[in-house]
Amino acid sequence: MLKNNELISLLIKKDLTFVTGVPCSIFKDFLIYINDTGKLNHVPATSEGEACAIASGYYLATKKIPMVYMQNSGLGNSINPLTSLLDKAIYGIPALLLISWRGEPGKKDEPQHIKMGRITLKLLKTLSIPFSFLPPDQVKAAKEIEKAKLYLKKNGSPYAIIVKKETIESCQSKAEEKNIYSLTREEAIKIILANLKGDEAIISTTGKTSRELFECREIKKQNHRTDFYVVGSMGCSAGIALGIALTKPRKKIFIFDGDGSVLMKMGTLATIGHFLPKNLFHIIFDNNTYDSTGGQKTVSNSADFSRIALACGYKSAKIATTQKELVNFVKTIKFQKCPSMLIVKIKRGSRKNLGRPTKTPQENKIAFMKFLQNK
Ligand SMILES: Cc1ncc(C[n+]2csc(CCOP(=O)(O)OP(=O)(O)O)c2C)c(N)n1
């Protein structure tokens, strides 16, 4: 496997020193290394499309080639800037895309990765973005990076290096991470569930939030039909919830969101604030990280979600930092003016033995749609 220090040295040697993107667990160790050592200039982005834009700005200002890392699911978020900003047919911006390959055909992966895994290479071909694979061997990796750099310089448009699982060696963070808050996401979910009537619809975001909600139901032997577990489509749970809330005004609709997911599609807050559904409760579990992909920092510590929500039109927005504050909020939930936001400040991390939903997305959809038909 390729060692992190070797990979970073190869990149620096080729004057590739600026990197931006949204994480994938495949880049977990690479990101730990660059954040710990500060060897690359790193700007974490809120969406992959935004990362392409940041990279373009860097190129315009420095004439130097930027790198954009993303999960292949984020290629979807990048297609617009890739075709209308970076492509040679328009401005022509050379950027090295480091794309992790989830759902690689022939390898077992989660349902949300299957389709994109199958079409990733075809999509790159359609986009006229040449690609190669990052070899786990240092000498071969050096050759691929050299080849990529030559292409980027000669053609002035993007080139992709595909990174498969287990190409980069694992590494432990040396940085001391202080957890300011005491509640875990799973504890917060349990407290909320214990104080709901049980007939509310819950739309939960991708990653560990949906996995934990699913397991909380299993542990309590509760039915899953009230929950819609969004296992991909990062940032979309609030939009899904809005679509339901507007058409089912008599049902209480809850969003269990993550700070990274909200940041990825923050425009949805404005749409919710414009349409003002009176039955929508937006709960954000804010751990200031992309916990599900390895705990990389988000920028939520400098974004005041409660003020943003209120400025967008939400009728109430509160912050809970302790168990007591959370319990108080859920106990008084029927008095909250909606759309209402609650930001629950939680600590990073989750249980080691956390499972995954055992129901398929189709089974989940069918049961949930039936539930929505009931009054
Ligand atoms: C478009 C897209 N980019 C990246 C990912 C990889 N990914 C899955 S979960 C996740 C982190 C979500 O962070 P947050 O919403 O803060 O929730 P947390 O994991 O902290 O609970 C990421 C980056 C993805 N699924 N989709």
Averaged confidence pLDDT in the chain: 96
- Categorize the per-residue pLDDT at 55 as very low, low, confident or very high, splitting at 50, 70 and 90: very high
Ligand 1 atom with the smallest distance to the CA of 185 is 21
In a mutational test of the pocket of ligand 1, which residue from 22, 282, 299 has the highest number of ligand atoms less than 8 Å from its CB?
A: 22
Query: Given this model, what pLDDT does residue 375 score?
Result: 62
Whether pLDDT at 306 is above 70: yes
Whole-number Å distance, alpha carbon 21 to ligand 1 midpoint, is 12
What is the Cα–Cα distance from 188 to 291, expressed in whole angstroms? 15
Domain 185-373 has CATH 3.40.50.920: no
The model's pTM: 0.97
* CATH architecture label of 4-163: 3-Layer(aba) Sandwich (3.40)
Cβ partners under 8 Å of residue 50, min gap 6: none
Tens-place pLDDT, residues 187-198: 999 999 999 999
Residue-wise DSSP of 132-150: EE--SSHHHHHHHHHHHHH
Cβ partners under 8 Å of residue 218, min gap 6: none
Tens-place pLDDT, residues 241-282: 999 999 999 999 999 999 999 999 999 999 999 999 999 999
Q: Is 127 in the pocket of ligand 1 (CB under 6 A)?
A: no
**Contact between 294 and 353 (Cβ < 8 Å):** no
Query: Given this model, what pLDDT does residue 177 score?
Result: 75
Q: Is 329 in the pocket of ligand 1 (CB under 6 A)?
A: no
**Residue whose token pair is 């709960």:** 283
Q: So where are the chain's domains?
A: 4-163, 185-373
Same fold, 4-163 and 185-373: yes
Whole-number Å distance, alpha carbon 260 to ligand 1 midpoint, is 6
Q: By three-state DSSP, how is residue 72 classified? A: coil
